[in-house]
Amino acid sequence: MEKEKLADGFCEEFQINFDLAQAQINCITCQQIGTIIIAPDTNATYSPPAPMLHCINCGGHFTHKQFLEVIIQVSTIIKKHQETTAVPKSDAIHKRLDKHDEMFEELVKLQKKVSELTDANNSLQQKNKKLERELATLRSTEQINPSTGSQASKYASDTDSSNTNNNNNNNNHNKNNSSPSVPTITKSPTPSYAQMTACKVTNKKPTTCQVQAAARKLAPSTQSGFKFVYLHQHHRMTIKQLHDILRKLKIDNSRILDVHFPDRGVVGVLIYNDYELELTAQLNRRGVQLHNSFDPCHPDIVRDPEFKDKSTE
């Protein structure tokens, strides 16, 4: 039986259009949206073999022709929407330059503010030194203690003693009526090393995630080893953005060992084999399907220039 030939590049173009329209396609059997994926097997009646489609909800198996028209229509609409909403590169550059100008103006204002605060700090330091000198002068001019000097003599007359008391009273009265005195600065005692080490250190209570992680290290493992789980991505993202998305999907990021991006539109997540079922179930509950058809060792993915002119068979 002669095989029906497909146009050059048909399978690659079909894959691109399917990736764009997959989330909007509904199954012709169960009518569920977003459940159609590309099956691992192919249709050998075409040359080259055409892709097959599979519904993960009802288990239906379909040829590419059954969905080709819908896929082309939906992907065309999405491409037009992306073209109309794309920002020209020149506009993005101008916006970035405007933002840099605003940041430069803000930096100039901050530098001016820092200079003003520095001048104010220097002025306060000079005032503080002046007050310290005045305080030292006041202390040096205080009245001599009566326990020393001529007033301590047993031959001092009562008149001198009374005059001294009057002078003391007058001085005290003048001090009370004068301008507010400079407060005396008292230094708090420096704690010793023994006092600091005697303080009790409160141990932080471990979180629920920390307790679960510790328990898993002592639990028996039914499937040892690691594996990569591949997911679709509709736009380029960073590792931090992916972790934020997984956190919103209620995925425990502590169970994710590593993340890498093996190809355009694909993200790989490294996990323990024991965590695969739990991760898959959690993603399915959120409507996220795994990229099961992705093969990182496929020649189209490896793109080794040494074998570019050789057959894939």
Residue 208: predicted pLDDT: 80
Query: 1 with 21: CB under 8 angstroms?
Result: no
Task: Report the predicted TM-score, pTM, of the whole model to 2 decimal places.
Answer: 0.34
Tens-digit pLDDT profile for residues 271-304: 999 888 999 999 999 999 999 899 988 888 888 7
Mean pLDDT computed over 34-42: 88
Residue 260: predicted pLDDT: 92
pLDDT tier at 187, thresholds 50, 70, 90 = low
287 inside domain: yes
Per the structure, the complete domain to which residue 67 belongs is given by 4-85
Residue 171: predicted pLDDT: 56
Query: Of 85, 108, 126, which residue constitutes the final position of a domain?
Result: 85
Better-predicted residue by pLDDT, 231 or 156: 231
Residue 171 phi, psi dihedral angles, 5° rounding: -65, -40
pLDDT tier at 131, thresholds 50, 70, 90 = very high
Residue 287: predicted pLDDT: 92
Length of the chain: 313
Mean pLDDT computed over 29-50: 88
pLDDT tier at 230, thresholds 50, 70, 90 = very high
46 inside domain: yes
Query: Of 63, 85, 107, which residue constitutes the final position of a domain?
Result: 85
Residue 1: predicted pLDDT: 64
Mean pLDDT of the chain: 81
Query: 134 with 182: CB under 8 angstroms?
Result: yes
Residue 163: predicted pLDDT: 54
Residue 189: predicted pLDDT: 73
176 inside domain: no
CATH number, domain with residue 277:
3.30.70
Q: Residue 146 to residues 140, 149, 159, 167, 298: CA-CA distances in angstroms?
A: 16, 7, 15, 12, 103
24 inside domain: yes
pLDDT of 178 > 70? The answer is no
Q: How far apart are CA 241 and CA 261, in angstroms?
A: 13
160 inside domain: no
pLDDT of 162 > 60? The answer is no
223 contacts: CB under 8 Å, gap ≥ 6: 272, 273, 274, 276
Tens-digit pLDDT profile for residues 240-271: 999 999 999 999 888 899 999 999 999 999 99
Mean pLDDT lowest for which of 19-33, 99-113, 212-226?
212-226
Residue 170: predicted pLDDT: 56
Structure tokens belonging to residue 99: 């933002």
Residue 113: predicted pLDDT: 92
172 inside domain: no
280 inside domain: yes
Q: What is the DSSP letter of 183?
A: P
pLDDT tier at 216, thresholds 50, 70, 90 = confident
**Number of structural domains in the chain:** 2
192 inside domain: no
